[in-house]
Structure 1
Amino acid sequence: MQTNLTVIVLTHNEELNIEECLRSLVPLKCRIVVVDSGSSDKTLEIVQNHKVEIYNHEFNNYGDQRNWAQQNTGIETDWVLHIDADERLNKLLCENIINVLMDNSNSEIDGYLISRRTIFMGKFIRYGGHYPVYHNRMFRIAKGMCETRLYDQHFIVDGIVEKLSGDIIDVTDDLDDWFNRHMKWAEMEAEQILGKNKKNKLVESKLGGTPIERRRWMKNNLYYKMPLFLRCLIYFGYRYFVRLGVLDGYKGLIFHFLHGFWYRFKVDTCILKKKLNWV
């Protein structure tokens, strides 16, 4: 008997990740929908070995792709869970998802915040403000959607949201793939910051709100107010020293430098390039 849940997984050339992702979903005993955007590797070959439904849809941005998946894949379950192909659900999270789906006393709850655990080159990144980081990932399908942004999209849930114990594990083992993704995301974030992709229905920026709303407030009202290039240096120092990222060891140094300084520096470079119309 299937649970009252549909899991949506977006894929594009994820042959290194999709097997472990799909295996982690097996305990949920639910419908799994894979939406692929033109993979040219063995992603679809691997997916076809699992009990999933495959859809193909051209990729525009993550928000549009996630919303398309919700609206066009024949979902009849009350609940939906969104994960990425490079993510896995740990055992505790699977157990708690099943528990809330079976519990009829939680009818007033419309969504759940789930913590993301980053595993970088085999190292759990515990410090630097990087764990726990909560995201709306599971919600009643009639109550939630993804905000339509080019980058840094979050899910909007219209109703009561609670935290759910357990982690979505985000795995990075391939640095080349990491750089390729973040080079693309830096361009998208720069365009987003410059206001070339402003749309309605965004997560609120609220200091006293949910963890997601607080992070959005701090980004909009503190980080983006600082000078280009200086802010990424300040941010890295804050993460690495004030938030104790130094305790994550040498792999943590690589991660916090790349994620907290290099990526933010790349975004600022893209912003300046677009402002000055560099080729």
Structure 2
Amino acid sequence: MQVISSNNNSRKLKMDKVVDVLIVTYNSSRTLKKCLQCIKNAVPYNRIIVGDGGSNDRTIEIAKHEGAEVYSFPRKDNLIGRIRYKLAEKAEKDWMLYVDSDVYLYQNFWTIMRCLIRPNVGMAFAVQDSPARTLNTYLTSRKLGFITFGNTIVPRHLMLVCKEMLNLNGGEDVFFAKFVKKRGYEVICLNEHLSFHDKSEEDLDRKFSRWARELGEEKLLMKFILLELSNIRNMACMTIKDGTISDTSILLRRSWKMLSSFIEGLKAP
């Protein structure tokens, strides 16, 4: 993965390249309105397309009110990789911008990111700010190999040939990065803070616990072990980076909650 910094030349490009913006949602009512408003203020988009995984709050209402197209992916179709792929099928432009529903793009996002729309680029994104200490450490550390779909431009044709995305529910960002690199394209992490990821430690706890419970319900032990190992890896890397164990208690607690949720899933009828 290439890590680069923007320069003045990249900022002189004309604002003539538009993208389709793709957003995956699930009970995103707290953050979605601001997410969409930031996109509309920062990006010369063609369409904003939302794929919802079965929200039971005001997510769909907010998306429609802000002018987004909304498609529902309930039950067996509620896999984040599958939703990302299906949204790419509905897009029109050669390039797509994936934005997470709890990510707010800064005003200068597109002014800088547009320089990365090049024939040899298969995936490009920028580092993010975050209120969650563990996530902020992860997002800003080059040693951790940061990969995300949170603020990411992707050529549409590459996504459409990556059929494996249809069966992925988590880890699809890392999988896609490996996929495009094997085909000779660059994966670029722009070393500038161009968005804010509005996710607290409590949000992260709930997210990982939900993933763990779903894996338990489906009796997917090996996938759960990989999820736990990923959390433990982050714990070790953060400790090495900071020279302290300041974040390990948070990650240890998260690891225990994931195990408890997985067991609950196993017991579910």
TM-score of the pair, normalised by structure 2: 0.68
Residue 208 of structure 2 aligns to a residue whose secondary structure is: helix
Seen in structure 2, the aligned counterparts of structure 1 residues 114 and 134 have a Cα distance that, compared at 3 Å, is farther
Task: Give the superposition deviation at 1:160.
Answer: 1.2
For residue 28 of structure 1, report the CA deviation from its aligned partner.
0.9
Deviation at 1:246, TM superposition (A): 5.0
Q: How far, CA to CA, are the matches of 2:243 and 2:249 in structure 1?
A: 10
The structure-2 alpha-carbon separation of the partners of 1:240 and 1:70, relative to structure 1 and needing over 3 Å to count, comes to closer
Q: Deviations over 1:74-123 (max 9, x none)?
A: x220011222211122334322223344xxxx323232243343322xx6
CA contact (8 A) 1:116 1:134 kept: no
Question: SS of 1:39's equivalent?
Answer: coil
Matched, 1:18 2:32: yes
- 1:143 alignment partner, SS class: helix
Aligned to 1:140: 155
1:6 partner letter: D
Q: In the alignment, which of 231, 244, 262 is matched to residue 253 of structure 2?
A: 262
Structure 1 length-normalised TM: 0.66
More helix by percentage: 2
- Partners in 1 of 2:121 and 2:257 — Cα distance? 40
The corresponding residue for 2:106 is 90
Checking the alignment, whether the CA contact within 8 Å between 2:213 and 2:263 is kept in structure 1 is: no
Q: Does 1:194 align with 2:221?
A: yes
2:129 is matched by which residue type in structure 1? R
Higher relative contact order (CA 8 A, sep 6+): 2
User: Is 1:172–1:178's contact at 8 Å kept on the other side of the alignment?
Assistant: yes
Q: Percent identity?
A: 17
Q: Give the aligned length.
A: 230
Deviation digits for residues 33-86 of structure 1 (CA, Å, limit 9, x no counterpart):
111233332222322232322222224211112112212x2x220011222211
User: Quick check: 2:120–2:186 contact (8 Å CA) kept in 1?
Assistant: no
Structure 1, gaps ≥5 residues long: 198-218, 225-230
Contact 2:94–2:156, Cα closer than 8 Å, also in 1: yes
Of residues 99, 106, 115, the one that matches 1:99 is: 115
Q: Mapping of 1:60-139 within 5 angstroms?
A: 60-71=78-89, 73=90, 75-101=91-117, 106-120=118-132, 126-127=136-137, 129-132=138-141, 133-135=146-148, 137-139=152-154
Distance in 1 between residues matched to 2:23 and 2:214, nearest whole Å? 21
Alignment correspondent of 1:203: none
Work out whether residues 205 and 257 of structure 2, in 8 Å CA contact, stay in contact via their aligned partners in 1: no
Higher strand share: 1
